[in-house]
């Protein structure tokens, strides 16, 4: 049997505290494929027993909504969902036969967003229903109240409004969202605070990543500068003649040889090692205590001082020893008669 079961537009609900709220269901929500997919096969009940589950299905079900595709029907400025009902209970069938038309109310869940506005038809509303998911279809008992209960169970009547008792706690009328694993009310101070905290954490991570990237770029720049310097030095070395290199090394050794230990062996020594040996352990210890940028100048200065001192040291001369005769005067050298004869011969 056909039945119009849900419509678009604004419907009024009464909360437990007696206040009324006007909620809007847009056509794209009422006729969404996801919503209509939950309609086929839901149980038909007498009144709203609350949420129908497998545990209480036999207790409440008197039939079910057919799996046939729902139709879209316009009536009175609104659009309706039309479905086929299958009623199996004898008492329910007898009532339908006797009354001919039985009020219908849907039991469903939905997200209710506090977004006031005005419909295209000019109706004012306080909130918007989204993500409607059907649970059951209720046949209202004759003379029965338009009422129901359930924390998230929403009841919808066939008429323009439903002003019966509607029990729900505050959480059921609010949209809950999950932030960092915590369920909070959408738009609440807690929600905003958690979002701000999440945004700050993201910003801090971005700043840290930026700093790390800058440090890596700086390190890469320094490494490139050193590599460029090394390549420049290598190019210069390749351009120099081998003989010039040998001569340069000989000049270096000759320069430092006067201030190096006797019989100094240059084998396997770098120029820095040679300079250190020329300066001496005591001055090298003093140089190690200076800032790194000042050590080379300190060592070079002391090498210069030592070389300068070495160049001014007089070369020792050999003074032969002379024996004196008994009178304190050097002895008179004796003449060699053979030398005199030789000289006389070559003088003629």
User: pLDDT band at residue 348, thresholds of 50, 70 and 90?
Assistant: very low
Q: Residue 283: pLDDT above 80?
A: yes
**130 CB burial (10 A radius; 0-12, 13-18, 19+):** middle
The pLDDT of residue 157 is 43
Beta strand 127-139 pairing with 154-157: unpaired
Asked if 46 and 92 touch (Cβ cutoff 8 Å), the reply is yes
Q: Which two tokens stand for residue 318?
A: 């050999």
Of the candidate ranges 1-15, 187-201, 256-270, 290-304, the one whose mean pLDDT is the lowest: 187-201
pLDDT value, residue 183: 62
pLDDT at 172: 39
In angstroms, the CA 252 to CA 274 distance is: 10
Give the separation between CA 237 and CA 180, rounded to whole angstroms. Answer: 63
- Give dist(CA 124, CA 20) in Å, integer: 13
pTM of the model: 0.43
Contacts of residue 330, defined as CB under 8 A and 6 or more positions apart, other chains included, come to 322, 323, 324
**pLDDT above 90: residue 301:** yes
For 95-133, write each residue's pLDDT tens digit.
778 776 678 888 888 888 988 999 998 999 999 999 989
Helix/strand/coil for 230: helix
Per-residue pLDDT reduced to its tens digit, 232-260? 988 887 777 778 888 888 999 999 999 99
Each residue's pLDDT tens digit, 190-222: 767 777 777 788 788 888 998 999 999 999 999
pLDDT of residue 147: 30
pLDDT at 330: 57
Residue 102 has what pLDDT? 76
Condensed to tens digits (0 to 9), the pLDDT of residues 147-198 reads 332 222 344 443 333 333 333 333 334 555 555 556 666 667 776 777 777 7
Q: Give the pLDDT of residue 234.
A: 85
Task: Tell me the pLDDT band of 313, cut-offs 50, 70 and 90.
Answer: low
What is the pLDDT, as a whole number, of residue 228? 92
Q: Is pLDDT of 278 > 60?
A: yes
Give mean pLDDT, residues 275-291: 91
35-77 tens-digit pLDDT: 999 999 999 988 888 888 888 888 889 999 998 888 888 876 7
CA 263 to chain centre: 65
Q: How far is CA 266 from CA 249, 256, 257, 283, in A?
A: 11, 11, 10, 20
Please write the tens of the pLDDT for every residue from 287-296: 899 999 998 9
């Amino acid at each position: 049997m056909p039945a119009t079961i849900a419509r678009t537009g604004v419907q009024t609900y009464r909360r437990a505290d007696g206040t009324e709220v006007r909620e809007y269901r847009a056509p794209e929500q009422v006729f969404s494929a996801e919503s209509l997919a939950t309609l086929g096969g839901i149980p038909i009940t007498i009144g709203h027993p609350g949420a129908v589950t497998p545990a209480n299905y036999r207790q409440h079900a008197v039939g079910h909504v057919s799996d046939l595709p729902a139709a879209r029907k316009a009536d009175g400025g609104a659009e309706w969902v039309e479905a086929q009902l299958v009623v199996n209970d004898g008492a329910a069938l007898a009532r339908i036969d006797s009354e001919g038309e039985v009020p219908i109310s849907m039991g469903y869940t939905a997200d209710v967003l506090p977004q006031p506005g005005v419909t295209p038809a000019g109706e004012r509303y306080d909130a918007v229903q989204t993500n409607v998911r059907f649970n059951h279809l209720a046949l209202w008992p004759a003379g029965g109240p338009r009422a129901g209960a359930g924390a998230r169970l929403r009841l919808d009547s066939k008429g323009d409004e439903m002003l019966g008792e509607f029990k729900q706690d505050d959480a059921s009328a609010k949209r809950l969202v999950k932030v960092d694993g915590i369920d909070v009310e959408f738009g609440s101070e807690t929600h905003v605070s958690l979002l701000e905290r999440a945004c700050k954490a993201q910003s801090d991570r971005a700043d840290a990543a930026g700093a790390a990237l800058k440090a890596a770029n700086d390190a890469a720049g320094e490494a490139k500068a050193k590599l460029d310097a090394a390549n420049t030095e290598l190019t210069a070395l390749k351009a120099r003649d081998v003989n010039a290199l040998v001569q340069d090394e000989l000049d270096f050794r000759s320069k430092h040889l006067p201030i190096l230990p006797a019989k100094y062996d240059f084998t396997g020594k770098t120029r820095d090692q040679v300079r250190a040996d020329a300066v001496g352990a005591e001055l090298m210890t003093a140089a190690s205590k200076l800032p790194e940028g000042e050590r080379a100048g300190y060592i070079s200065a002391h090498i210069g001082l030592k070389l300068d001192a070495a160049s001014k040291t007089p070369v020792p001369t050999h003074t032969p020893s002379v024996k004196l005769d008994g009178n304190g005067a050097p002895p008179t050298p004796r003449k060699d008669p053979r030398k005199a004869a030789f000289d006389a011969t070559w003088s003629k």
